[in-house]
Each structure stands twice: as structure tokens, then as C-alpha cells.
Amino acid sequence: MKTEKAKELLERYYRGETTLPEERALKSLFQQDDIPEELKADRETFLFLSSLSQQEATLPAGLEERLSDSIRQWETDDTQQPRLTLHKPKARIVRWYAGIAAALLIAAGAGLYVQQANDQPRDTFDNPQLAYAEAERALQLFAATLNKGQSHVAKAESRTQRIREQLEKCCNALTDTPETINNNIKKRN
């Protein structure tokens, strides 16, 4: 599967718009070892989310009966009380806010879990000698580039100095009086 197609499927998956065959295709892609570097972070997230969706949710014993009893109780309370009460809208709003708060807490917890799983540092080299050689090569490249930049700065400074000297000569020539100019001309001859 091409990287662009995988990115598009992932965006649709995160929005909840993928079909089961598309999700299977993503799962088979992410179970491979050689996936593109830009999809590696999405790989862990996808596998974590797909494992959550495959877990069987078990309901506590007696939950259905308790819910049925609560619904019956609410129905009898509704028929016994007048429809216009001031307390009922407040209770609905409180339940609504409590549901939102619970959803946000669950989302924040899942986000923190995924972030902690991604924050663990990983070694890029297994061989310390190879790591040392690679670091030394990078530092030599940096030093060569720095030296090249310093040589350009030195050339620019020397050119600036020559221009400054020429400007001083011009300024001195402009500030000279006609008598000193004549004396300088006579001295040259």
C-alpha cells in the first residue's frame, strides 16, 4: 500500500469513516516490519486503538436489571410529578455535564497513555563503535562547514577594510583646502 493511500485511510480511520476491509488493510500494513518512517508513530496508535476495539466488554452482573428498575422508577416519577418542575432541567444539565466530563477524562487518559508510550527514548545504534564513528563524522562535517563560513567572513572583513580606507581618502580629499591640494600636486611633480 502506498504511503499517501495509507495516510488517507488513517485520516478516515481517526474520523471513524473507514469500512472493515479498509481497517483490515491498515492492520495488515502496520503488522509489517518495513513501514515508511512517517507512519511509525501512527502504527503504535493504530495498533493500540485496534486492540482496544477487539477487547470484549463485560458487563457487571445484574446491570440490566438495575437499569430496568431505574428506568421504571423514572417513568413512575414522571407520571406522578407535574411536568413543569424547576429541579428536573437542572438534574438533566448536571447529568449532561457529568457525561461530558467523563468522556474528556477518558480521552485525556488515553492520550497520556499513548504519549508516554511514545516518549520512551530509543537507541539508534546497537554498536557503540559505530555510534562513535558516526558522531565523529558528523562533528567533522560541522567543523568543515564552520571553517568555510569563517573564511568567507575573513574575506568580507578584508574587503570592508579596503573600502573603508578608500572612503577615508576621499573624505580627506574633500575636506582639504585648495592650498593643501596645490601643495600636494607640487610635491608629486
Closest by CA to 10, choosing from 37, 41, 32, is 41
112 with 158, same domain? no
- Whether 43 is in a domain gets the answer yes
- Whether 69 is in a domain gets the answer no
Per-residue pLDDT, 81: 58
Report residue 188's pLDDT band, with 50, 70 and 90 as the boundaries: low
Per-residue pLDDT, 93: 83
Q: Tell the burial category of 22 from Cβ atoms under 10 Å away from its Cβ (0-12, 13-18, 19+).
A: middle
pLDDT exceeds cutoff 60 at 189: no
**Residues 64, 76: Cα–Cα separation, whole Å:** 18
Q: What is the dihedral of CA 21, 23, 25, 27, to 10 degrees?
A: -140
Range of the domain at 140: 128-188
113 with 146, same domain? no
135 with 45, same domain? no
117 with 133, same domain? no
DSSP string, 23-35: HHHHHHHHTSS--
179 with 139, same domain? yes
135 with 162, same domain? yes
pLDDT in tens, 118-149: 766 666 677 888 888 888 888 898 888 888 88
Q: What is the mean pLDDT of residues 56-67?
A: 77
pLDDT in tens, 13-23: 888 888 888 88
CB-based contact 13:22 (threshold 8 Å): yes
114 with 46, same domain? yes
- Whether 36 is in a domain gets the answer yes
Per-residue pLDDT, 26: 81
138 with 168, same domain? yes
149 with 167, same domain? yes
- Whether 17 is in a domain gets the answer yes
Is the pTM above the cut of 0.85? no
Tell me, what amino acid is at 168? E
Residues in the chain: 189
Total domains in the fold of the chain: 2
**Residues 74, 88: Cα–Cα separation, whole Å:** 11
10 with 30, same domain? yes
Closest by CA to 43, choosing from 57, 53, 29, is 29
46 with 109, same domain? yes
Q: Mark which of 121, 152, 172 sits at the end of a domain.
A: 121
